[in-house]
Amino acid sequence: MLKIRSRPLSPHLTIYKPQITSVFSIWHRITGILLTLIMNYILILLKLSIYFPFDMEFNLFLNHQLNFPDWIINTLILNLLIFFLFHFLNGIRHIIWDLGFILSIKMIYRTARLTSFFLFLILINLTLKIFN
């Protein structure tokens, strides 16, 4: 008969307190994956447009059938830009770390707050430009 041992479970991600460094790391990976998927989708559409030229009647029909409001399209564009900007600004932090600068915990937190501040300013600016 099998003996069941009472072993301690490995800690799950939910028991840890979220830190700005871990949140930025996770979001950097998520935005990288999303940007890669979106870029591949756009490249596939461009490749298909070479072999299958666009038919204007079909495009008008599709546009009429989908009938997306402008605010939905603007929100999607804004989210794509925010993903790109976050990934870009956080990528600059990673390049600086790779060069051996700003490696103290205090400076890492400070640059994370600075990245958040710049992202927030750019978000306000883009929102006002896109929705006005």
Q: What is the pLDDT of residues 9-44, one digit of tens each?
A: 677 767 788 899 999 999 999 999 999 999 999 898
> Which pTM was predicted?
0.79
What is the reported pLDDT for 8? 65
Whether 12 has a binding-site annotation, put simply, is no
pLDDT band, very low/low/confident/very high, at 2 (cuts 50, 70, 90):
low
pLDDT band, very low/low/confident/very high, at 6 (cuts 50, 70, 90):
confident
Distant-in-sequence, close-in-space partners of 38: CB < 8 Å, separation ≥ 6: 80
**Between the CA of residue 6 and those of 9, 97, 103, what are the distances in Å?**
9, 43, 41
Instruction: Set out the domains of the chain in order of their start, with CATH numbers.
Output: 20-131 (1.20.1300.10)
Q: What is the pLDDT of residues 30-88, one digit of tens each?
A: 999 999 999 999 898 888 878 877 677 767 776 777 788 888 888 999 999 999 999 99
